[in-house]
A and B are shown apart, each in its own frame.
Chain A
Amino acid sequence: MAGFITKRLLQALFVILAVTLIVSFAIRLSGDPAIMLMGGGNVTEQDLQNIRQALGLERPFHVQYLSFLQGIFVGDLGRSFIGNTPVSALIGQALPATLLLAFTSLLISIVLSVPLGIHAAVHRGRWPDQLIRILSLVGLSFPNFWLAIMLVLLFSIFLGILPPSGMEGPESFVMPALTMAIILTATNVRLVRTSMLETLSQQYIMVARSKGLRDRIVLYKHALRNSAIPLVTYIGVQFGNLIGSIVIVERVFNWPGMGTLAFDAVSNRDYPVLQGTIAVLALFIVLINLAVDIAYGLIDPRIRTE
């Protein structure tokens, strides 16, 4: 197990290296941040030179990138071009906000999709199944920003019961988490349903039923645990997508998280913030996948022994 984890962590290092290299290089193709910092306005070439020098932008790309890498190992991610704030401080504030939102959405989606998926599987072909499948299709078809705006319209403008943006208290979580959870649930329901159907056709389920066990025990004790493996794998994969959609959702709800940070960094060409944010997010995705691999063992003893 220790060997496995070490190997995965080394892989993680490589992934982060590759991701940050691509991002650092690509963002530099899109124009000079000095001009953005000066508001695109009243400046002479000399002023731009001064700014570039102060930001260390006159150095060749490989020098800039290597100094960024060097910084990573001592926990120094550089300073934002805007306001000179340490990037690590910005991430320190944004990361908990994003993780809290991501895990809340994931949790809501699991709480919703597992019973719904089982319900659909049990009633295969009958109306509850049809309804759940149609709803899931509808959920899949919503663009997340549109869904977010509709929720704001309903809960904040018409009903006036939820704050349209910000992270102020538990009520602030409802809409952003719901937006992401709806989209996640739509996929997860289908996954649970399919996986459950497969498990339910296994012989041991027939045996369980034939010994007269109650439905609830058969489903939750025997079937669910066995159909959980694909779900857990998929949740690991989903976490990457989740981070992708969180950028949009955070922006609509003005959530002070990593998505907002990354979005602003791209629009302001704030290289250090963007590189730092991406590196940390990449690290998280890698770690989540590692956690998923470990979780297999917990769910399925057969994998543990291998």
Chain B
Amino acid sequence: MKFSKTMKALGLTAAVALAPLMASSAQAAGTLTTAVAIDPASWDPIDTFLVDWSSAANNIYDGLTARGADMKLTPALATSWEFLDDNKRIRFKLRENVKFHNGEPFNAQAVKFTFDRLLGEEGRKGPQQSNYNSIERVEVVDDNTVDFIMKQPDPVLLTKLAGYGAMIVPPKYVQEKGDDYFNTHPVGTGPFKFVEYNPKDRLILEANPDHWGGAPKLDRLVFRFISEANTQVAELQAGRIDVATLIPFGLAPTIEKSQNLSLMSVTGPTVVSLRFNTKDGITKDVNVRKALIMGVDRDAIIKAVLLGHGKPIASFQSELSFGNDPALKPLPFDLAKAKQMLQAAKVPAGAPVRIDFRGNDATFREVAQATAGYLQALGLKPALQPHEPPVLLNDIIPNGKTGEAWHQAWGGWTFDYDNNAYLMYHSGEKWNPYYNDAKLNEMLEKQRLVYDVKEREKILQEIARYVADQALELPLYNQNTIYGVNKRVKDFDAPADRRFRYTKTSVE
């Protein structure tokens, strides 16, 4: 028959067609490609809530202050600042001779415009305004000086000026081109300039040789949007991206074993705990809560589930967080003692402990299963209840419909314990459906009024101690931020908060 010949011809055609498609895996010199999960769709600072926005936009814009990978706050577009009028007025001296990428000068007007926009009608529609509500208004003193008039004290303000909604935007450009255009053609004062944006695909930036901090070493930055972790890893292995930001713990060993790749695992902002229902169930009793903490081997969970990419915590914050107290140690794992405490509290065998968690979190599912195993060993009857995230966040937690414990993962880029503690423990807060303690409320409110760093740190540490004494939660771990990086990348500072700033980085 002729058909076998046809088949051969088909196969041959396929082979010939594929042959010239040898993919160009080697990347252009001077170009660094980073993969982030989500396309923020708008590059306007006031529109965003995504870390992935910052991974790219931190290279386009500058804030009045800056914070590098070492988490130290430094001057940026402001060169110095002072507190006046009993801390109600903060005066910033601005850097001179700075220009936006479009040639527009950076000055006091630009700062005022940026914050008028953020705090006004335009900002109201976005998620950023709420972070900056402590500012009443910005006043222009002269071309290179601005005053921030404060509505209420905000000790975290200087940190918050280093990112997200506080990034300085060019007034003339935004007004002339309009918001829609600015969303997709961002202009800032940062070390890299906008070149091209293909929605859902990539953002391309090029070096700004006139940057006030000196010209960057790289010529070009490419940010690709890849939401599937396996795909990011495949791209990394194929040498087509240099930095991957979405590495599930399970794939970390693959990258470690690869010859041309390195795995960077750094302390991150995300902390995870099982918070207790202090109103109903066996967790009403503080001694039972302590017994549950002691009954779960958190170190073993970190080792087995996170493959070591995490650290144990004593309070609901990262060790990088302001307010963290290294002297505060987690309760030790002691099964026998935990059993004794449960007996002393007259908890019947087989008492139920329901854990509500985000069903889409594959890592936590394993953590929850491991925890359930330990609770079972204590003679309790654990039940795991996964939820759709918006249902858990909108209904189950705020309306107090949780079981004895629920999953809370948290991590603010500001690395300040206030961001966690106030929202978790102050009565009436969305994330605190059960607990109401006048003493704790008072401490939480007090630290928000204190600018003195030492004094505020002391109060925050007291809060953490108090929460640990009351055993309001089972602190599980502080999860590492993991990057897969091609070895051709030099001087890559792995930032804990994924806000890259590729000024010193180069590629071979």
The residues of A with any CB-CB pair to B shorter than 8 Å are 30-33, 35-47, 50-51, 54, 80, 82-85, 89-90, 93-94, 111-112, 115, 118-119, 122-123, 128, 149, 152-153, 156-157, 160-167, 170-171, 174, 215-216, 251-254, 256, 260-261, 263-264, 269
Residues in A whose Cβ lies below 8 Å from that of B389: 31, 36, 40
18 contacts between A and B (CB under 8 A): A36-B390, A42-B419, A46-B130, A50-B124, A83-B40, A83-B183, A84-B47, A85-B199, A93-B199, A94-B200, A152-B230, A156-B234, A156-B238, A160-B238, A161-B18, A254-B226, A254-B228, A256-B199
The interface of chain B, by Cβ under 8 A from chain A, is 1-3, 6-7, 10, 18, 21-23, 25, 38, 40-42, 47, 49-50, 124-127, 129-131, 179-180, 183-184, 198-201, 224-228, 230-231, 234-235, 237-240, 388-391, 393-395, 410, 412, 419, 423, 430
Number of A-B contacts (CB under 8 A): 164
**Contact assessment for B200 and A256 in the assembled complex, using a CB-CB cutoff below 8 Å:** yes
Interface centre among A38, A83, A119 (most CB of B within 10 A): A83
Which 6 pairs from chain A and chain B are nearest by CB?
A: A31-B390, A83-B41, A83-B42, A54-B125, A164-B234, A171-B21
CB-defined contacts of B127 to chain A, threshold 8 Å: 37-39, 43, 47, 51
How far, in Å, is B156 (CB) from chain A's closest CB? 11
Q: Which residue of the partner chain, among B1, B21, B228, B390, contacts A170 with CB atoms under 8 Å?
A: B21
> Chain A nearest CB: distance from B41 CB in Å?
3
The closest CB in chain B to the CB of A253 belongs to: B231
A156 touches which of B23, B129, B198, B224 (Cβ 8 Å)? B23
Q: Across the interface, do B200 and A93 meet the contact criterion of CB distance under 8 Å?
A: yes
B42 touches A163 (CB 8 A): no
Q: Which residues of A contact B239 (CB under 8 A)?
A: 160
Let me know if B393 and A35 touch, CB within 8 A.
yes
Is there an interface contact between A82 and B41, defined as CB atoms closer than 8 Å? yes
List residues of chain A with CB within 8 A of the CB of B124: 50, 54
Q: How far, in whole Å, are A167 and B201 apart by their CA atoms in the complex? A: 8
- A161 and B227 alpha carbons, distance in the complex (Å): 23
Give the residues in chain B near A156, CB-CB below 8 Å. 23, 234, 237-238
Cβ-defined contact, B201 with A32, below 8 A: no
Give the one of B7, B23, B183, B393 with max A CB within 10 A. Answer: B23
Query: How close is B287's CB to chain A, nearest CB, in angstroms?
Result: 32
A164 with B200: CB separation less than 8 A: no
Q: Which residues of B contact A115 (CB under 8 A)?
A: 3, 6-7, 10
Given contacts A85-B199, A161-B21, contact A269 B40 (CB under 8 A): no
Contact call A31/B391, Cβ cutoff below 8 A: yes
- A270 smallest CB distance to B (angstroms): 9
Which residues on B sit within 8 Å (CB–CB) of A171?
Answer: 21, 23
Contact of B23 among A31, A93, A162, A269 (CB under 8 A): A162
Cα–Cα distance between A139 and B389 once the two chains are bound (Å): 36
Closest to A171 in B: B21
A250 to B49, CA, bound (A): 25
Interface centre among B3, B40, B391 (most CB of A within 10 A): B3
